Chain A
Amino acid sequence: MSPTEKRNLILAFESSCDETSVAVIEDGHKILSNIVATQIKSHQRFGGVVPEVASRHHIEEVTLCIKDALAEAEVGYEDLDAVAVTYGPGLVGALLIGVTAAKTVAFAHNLPLIPVNHMAGHIYAARYVEPIEFPALALLVSGGHTELVYMPAENQFEIIGETRDDAAGEAYDKVGRVMGVNYPAGKTVDEWAHQGKDTFKFPRAMEKDDNFDFSFSGLKSAFINTTHHADQIGETLSKQDLSASFQQAVVDVLAEKTKHALADYPVHQLILAGGVAANKGLRERLERDLQSNPTTHLVKAPLKLCGDNAAMIGAFAYVAYQHGVFADATLNADPSLEFDWAADSVK
């Protein structure tokens, strides 16, 4: 059998926040297993992710996830071609567990180690829908990040816009808390939004500005002021209408900026990825917007792969493997890792 006929198998690790995940991925696009141990219930006790607690949970889970991933994929270490791991961005103590475990497995079984940027992983969740065609543009929306990433060619990522303050997911959690919803609030706010109407007309920040950056702090303040004022005069506001108004403002800002970006960067695909990409309102809006765009079509990361998981890390790791991107045993976590800015962008 020639080497090209052999399937490529990558054992991928993800531990950047509150999910411990290990996956076995075949040829970068087939999920043989994708084990995810989530700590959400633990952090709900505190109303948000506590980094030290997250790190401790990752240690409890990591070797169990490896075993389950291999067992479910029905492969052994001898079948693997490489080990891949998220090394940033994320919580340093959380990242360190995945990085340390992945390095150790690679060392123990003499396998190459592939360092993966978590955001590249999120984008490559879309690879499970269809192959990525370049140039492509990705709208990445999660609890920690909101950015527009231009991909001129495979393995090239350039930021052309990002949030100047809160990430969209962060804003969801904050307004959720004001309405008494525990972290993570995105799903509940999304559901309420679909039951209500945009009656409050919150501000849309920087929609018209001549760049692709986002801002959600003004929206968040307007939301909080509105609810505080209602509290003071003893008025009860509809959570559905509040949610609908908030979500409409978020979606408008994201969609408008993306439309501007697509005008400057004509691409084959617009990829929607990241935890907030599971948001129904956002998915529906971009679908509608892109119907009238003859050249670009929308690729939405599968709902099940929008949150953090190792399958998406393995999908990009396959690309890195083809490009010969490997790390040695000194690989460290890089909590503030990010793509470079596009050279011609106005930061």
Chain B
Amino acid sequence: MKILAIDTSNRPLSVAVLDDATVLAAITVTVHQKHAEYLLPEIERLLAMAELKPTDLDRVVVAAGPGSYTGIRIAVTTAKTLAATLNIDLVAVSSLATLAANVPVEGALVAPIFDARNQNAFAGLYRIKNGVPTAVIADAHTGIADFLAAVNKYGEPVWFLGDAANFSDLIATTISAATPAISPWLNLPQVATIGLLGQKLTPVSDVDRFVPNYLRLTQAEAEWRAKNPEEDTESYVEKI
């Protein structure tokens, strides 16, 4: 199975091409955040190095959020358009789980965190089971203090990844168990890992209807829904 894996959820851009369990080519770039310009050229370059054509692909695996709205939109639009136009499988993985997959320690608790400003974060808690990150606390947009308090209840060492350094003081005062020191490398998505995981996952059933996992309504919609709790939210786009 030929797989393309994509993650542009935050500042890093990560792309990998795999043939079953073999990683053919992989890159992670952090020096810019011009995903709109560089994602497709990087995909082109990697496929060319792997001597593959787009039509050789069997499956696209995408980190579908949470993350920067623009970032997850570019990854998901690229991935779903590729899957739709080539009629191949689309597999979606949480962008937080993608980071958690960096930790190869069986049984470890991993807490990937994306800073969402004002002491808020996108965060989840994962346990590595048979090499696969399994959600223990579901991904959410949450106050960082609340998230850390929930994590602390497990009373176990936790691997904090992603933007955790932004909250190091709060982590030190909240989490009583030891937190392993990590290489900064582990804070970056290595999307080949979800390429490997994605071979076993069930593809998205409706590629056309697939959207990023924003984990947050837009402010306009949140306010509107608060005022109109009874309204149906499905049918706002019409073909004319």
Contact = CB atoms under 8 A, between A and B. Distances in A.
Interface stretch (A148-156, A314-322, A327-335): A327-335
Interface string A32-75: 00011111111001100010110111011111101110000000
Contacts of A107: 40, 43-44, 54
Interface stretch (B125-133, B158-166, B176-184, B211-219): B211-219
Nearest to B223: A46
Nearest to A52: B218
A105 B40 contact: no
For chain B, the bracket of interface size reads 35 or more
A100 interface: yes
| Majority-rule SS of B interface residues | helix
Q: Which of B69, B78, B214, B236 has the most CB of A within 10 A?
A: B236
Given A100-B78, A332-B36, A53 B220 contact: yes
B20 interface: no
Given A36-B240, A41-B236, A52-B220, A101 B208 contact: no
A37 B53 CA distance: 32
Interface string B36-50: 111011011000000
Nearest to A100: B77
For chain A, the bracket of interface size reads 35 or more
A335 to B, nearest CB: 12
Contacts, number: 125
| Majority-rule SS of A interface residues | helix
A333 B81 contact: no
Contact of A330 (B38, B70, B81, B207): B38
A39 B236 contact: yes
B209 A60 contact: yes
A317 B218 CA distance: 34
Interface in A298-347: 328-333
16 contacts: A36-B240, A37-B238, A41-B237, A45-B228, A46-B224, A55-B73, A59-B80, A67-B84, A67-B208, A100-B73, A104-B85, A108-B55, A110-B54, A329-B40, A329-B44, A332-B34
Interface of B: 34, 36-38, 40-41, 43-44, 53-55, 69-70, 73-74, 76-78, 80-82, 84-86, 207-209, 211-212, 214, 218, 220-221, 224, 228, 235-240
Interface of A: 20, 35-42, 45-46, 50, 52-53, 55-57, 59-64, 66-68, 77, 93, 96-97, 99-101, 103-105, 107-110, 328-333
